[in-house]
Structure formats: structure tokens, C-alpha cells
Structure 1
Amino acid sequence: MIWQDMESAPRDGREILALVEDRRPMVVFWSDWLEDHWQPLGQPWREASPTRWAPLPAPPPA
């Protein structure tokens, strides 16, 4: 997996894998509701401060 700078991360609401404050991986998405920010998936009303990102891996075959 190649980590990329957050400046290149998609801001269209799609979920991405990100490294946050303490370098732990977390799924986040760009939220432009109220204030623009990165929001962790499944954790409303919390902002994340990611430093790097990568696309989510493909799910395993069914």
C-alpha cells in the first residue's frame, strides 16, 4: 500500500483509509455538512486529522 499526501485525497464523500493523529489507520470521508472536515466512518460529531491516505482495498470475493 502506498500512502499519499492528504492534499490529493478525494473530497467527494467516498470512504478512504487514512492515518490519523497517532498514526493509526482509520476509515474516513470528507464531510461538507456544516463545516468541511474529515470525519471517521461511524463516529458522528467527531473530526479526524489524517496525515496520509490510501484507497480502501477491494473486498474479498464472495
Structure 2
Amino acid sequence: MYIFFIPFALFILFYINTLTNTLCLQKEIPEEKQPKVFRTINILITILLISSYVEVLFT
């Protein structure tokens, strides 16, 4: 299970960060607020990935 899920999770995090960067550029979010946006989105995606891993592991 680890063999498939960990690379998939890393790909998802990388792709979400790319989309977040595009969002920041498109919406012209100031440089001072961008780290907070990235941190919030990364934390939420990490929680989502961990919960989906636990769900798949125990079902």
C-alpha cells in the first residue's frame, strides 16, 4: 500500500502547490499573504490525504 500511496500523495501535494501558485498570480495576492495561503492549503490537503490513507488502510 505504501508503494502506491506515498508517490501519489507527493504528486498531489506538488500539483496543488502549482495550482495555488497559479491562483496567487491570477488573483494578484500580495507577497506578504502568499505564505499563509500556501500553508493553509498544504495543511488542509495533508489532512485530506492522511484521512483517505487511514480510510483505505482500515476498510
Question: The TM-score by the shorter chain falls in which range?
Answer: under 0.3
Select the structure of larger CA radius of gyration: 2
TM-score normalised to structure 2 length: 0.22
Name which structure has the greater RCO, CA cutoff 8 Å, separation 6+.
2
- Structure with bigger strand share is 1
